[in-house]
Amino acid sequence: MPELPEVETVRRGLARSVVGKRIEEVTIFDPSLVKGLSAGAFVRGLERRSIAEVSRRGKYLLFRLDSGKTWAVHLRMTGRMLFKKNDRPVREKATRAILKFGRDGLHPKGCSFLWFSDSRRFGEWHLVRKPEEIPGIAKLGPEPLEITREEFVQRLKSRRGQIKPLLLDQAFLGGLGNIYACEALYRAGINPKRKPCSISFYNKIELYHNIQVILKEAIRAGGASVRSYRRSDGSKGWFALRLKVYGREGSKCSRCCRTIRRIKLSGRGTYYCPGCQK
């Protein structure tokens, strides 16, 4: 599933490609993609509108239109938003919608398109006056790259349960996902089964620091294409080459040579080193 670095990478690519463009035509192949209103009402809300800004909240892409409304996109597990120049993309089985933009100075000889494909069909599109009208956005916690160290430590205080499921709770931190939670816990030397209230102040600071560092590294690398994720130009992100524990069950830890294990916590596959993470 695309996580914060992947969604931010897509956002940056689309911001360069679609801001200022006028949406001439919207074709919805799968009406279940649109949430909260009919596909017809959604199309009428987008057509003949220009995109003023592309931002992000958690794992949501937010397209602010010149009408003042926001088109919000959640990629979920397999969603891709690909920008195509000049030629209309050939519809594939996984294609759920295509946007056609008007001609502009960059592409005077032809139109450009934004193509949304989603093989698992879990992606969501919304059209709202304010992003907070979407329940998934309204409940989001602080952004991992914006929360202060003091607030992060305070939010961990007195928390029970286990640290890994807590990091995946979008009400705790908005945007952190399974890949980067596993990697940050590994770098901080914290066992994913630990209770937050049992983690020392020093290790909480270490965890905060490593979340910040690994997310920034992954954004610079264009995200991690461990499965279906692609950037807006169709290329892969290369951060998967730097993963130390995620997806490496049975491999040797690069620090202590113990075997990396995979367990399930709250239904999510969790990778860790039993030697390094205490």
Considering the candidates 57, 59, 187, 244, report the single residue annotated as catalytic.
Answer: 59
Catalytic residue list contains 59: yes
Catalytic residue list contains 151: no
Number of compact structural domains in the chain? 2
Residue 91 backbone class (left: φ over 0; alpha: ψ -120 to 50; beta: rest): beta
Domain that holds residue 234: 149-272
Q: Output the pLDDT for position 107.
A: 54
Considering the candidates 2, 131, 192, 196, report the single residue annotated as catalytic.
Answer: 2
Q: Would residue 134 count as lying in a domain?
A: yes
274, 256 in Cβ contact below 8 A?
Answer: no
Catalytic residue list contains 242: no
E strand segments, the chain: 22-28, 49-57, 60-65, 70-74, 79-86, 95-101, 111-118, 124-128, 261-265, 268-272
Q: Output the pLDDT for position 86.
A: 72
CATH number, domain of 114, equals 3.20.190.10
- Give this prediction's pTM: 0.95
* CA torsion angle 252 258 259 260 (round to 10): -90
* 190 Cα distance to chain centroid: 24
DSSP-derived secondary structure letter, 161? S
Q: Output the pLDDT for position 92.
A: 85
From first to last of its 278 residues, what are the pLDDT tens digits of the chain?
799 999 999 999 999 999 999 999 999 999 999 999 999 999 999 999 999 999 999 999 999 999 999 999 999 999 999 999 876 667 889 999 999 999 765 555 668 999 999 999 999 999 999 999 999 999 999 999 999 999 999 999 878 899 999 999 999 999 999 999 999 999 999 999 999 999 999 999 999 999 999 999 999 999 999 888 999 999 999 999 999 999 999 999 999 999 999 999 999 999 999 999 99
Catalytic residue list contains 3: yes
Considering the candidates 3, 8, 124, 183, report the single residue annotated as catalytic.
Answer: 3
Residues 163 and 127 in one domain: no
CATH number, domain of 239, equals 1.10.8.50
Q: Would residue 204 count as lying in a domain?
A: yes
Q: Output the pLDDT for position 55.
A: 98
